[in-house]
Amino acid sequence: MFGSASDARRRDRDAARIRRILRGSTRAADALVREHYDGLFAFVWRQVGDREETMNLVQESFIAALRSLPSYDPDRASFTTWLYRIAAHKVIDMRRRARPAAVSLDTGGPGGPDDGEAFAAGIDLPDVRIPDMADLAISRDLLARIEERVAQCDPAVQETFRLHLYAGQSFAQIAAAAGESESTVKARYYRLTALLRKEFGDEA
């Protein structure tokens, strides 16, 4: 469910360390942080672009994760996905403090929420691609404006977008961690990417 053989080995290491952490091992906690630090730093950096802010958010994410370990369910999500969800919400909270208004992309007008599966089925996926925002060829100014636009969306949409684009998490992984259907998660992502393509496609 969660990926390759190397992913499975990492999950096994994480599981062993988490068991030791829950028994009070600070060495296991240090090892768990070291295992995931570089990846989490890169995930946050791609969204924030400021070293000091990234370091603060990464630290906050690890603290929150370690405090919440008793509630972590490995049958629902890998530790990586779970950790990155925490970090995604730290970024969302930071953006929300700067721009409090949130725009929902989960509603389909007067009729209420769209059916996720129906929406996803009606999209020509190759036509709603947006630029790879991890690509250094894209200007920092454009990245900042895309991030500003994404920050206007509600947290569920942002979480899906950030985890899939910046962390490379699959729709299945994101859906399992969030307790939602994969079609709903896909619909959120492609609805937002279609919007971003419309607004920024000519600049990439």
User: Which CATH number is 32's domain given?
Assistant: 1.10.1740.10
**Burial class (CB within 10 angstroms; exposed 0-12, middle 13-18, buried 19+) of 126:** exposed
Domain hosting residue 41, numbered range:
5-98
**pTM of the full structure:** 0.76
Checking if the pLDDT of 133 tops 60, the result is: no
Residue 90 to residues 14, 46, 53, 54, 75: CA-CA distances in angstroms? 22, 14, 11, 10, 24
Identify whether 134 is part of a domain: yes
Looking at 111-181, list the stretches that DSSP marks H as alpha helix, in order from N- to C-terminal side. Answer: 116-121, 140-150, 155-165, 171-178
- Asked whether residue 59 falls in the same domain as residue 141, the answer is no
Identify whether 121 is part of a domain: yes
Identify whether 124 is part of a domain: yes
- Gap between the Cα atoms of 9 and 173, Å rounded: 17
Q: Tell me how many helices (H) and strands (E) the chain has.
A: 9, 0
| Bridge partners, 103 (sequence order) | 153
- Return the CATH number at 192: 1.10.10.10
- Asked whether residue 18 falls in the same domain as residue 65, the answer is yes
- Gap between the Cα atoms of 40 and 37, Å rounded: 5
Q: How many domains does the chain have?
A: 2
The residue among 140 and 120 whose pLDDT is bigger is 140
Checking if the pLDDT of 5 tops 80, the result is: no
Identify whether 105 is part of a domain: no
35-39, 71-75, 110-114: lowest mean pLDDT where?
110-114
- Asked whether residue 122 falls in the same domain as residue 92, the answer is no
Identify whether 111 is part of a domain: no
Task: Return the number of other C-beta atoms located less than 10 Å from residue 176's C-beta.
Answer: 19
Q: Where residue 6 falls among pLDDT bands split at 50, 70, 90? A: confident
Q: Are 68 and 18 in contact (CB under 8 A)?
A: no
pLDDT digits (tens, 9 = 90+) for 34-66: 999 999 999 999 888 889 999 999 999 999 999
- Asked whether residue 81 falls in the same domain as residue 134, the answer is no
Residue 135, classed as helix, strand or coil, is coil
- Asked whether residue 140 falls in the same domain as residue 171, the answer is yes
CB-based contacts of 119: which residues, under 8 Å, 6+ apart?
108, 187, 190, 191
Checking if the pLDDT of 165 tops 60, the result is: yes
- pLDDT attached to residue 113: 38
Q: Where residue 138 falls among pLDDT bands split at 50, 70, 90? A: low
Checking if the pLDDT of 108 tops 50, the result is: no
- Asked whether residue 88 falls in the same domain as residue 123, the answer is no
pLDDT digits (tens, 9 = 90+) for 139-161: 677 878 888 899 999 999 999 99
- The amino acid that residue 120 corresponds to is A
Checking if the pLDDT of 101 tops 90, the result is: no
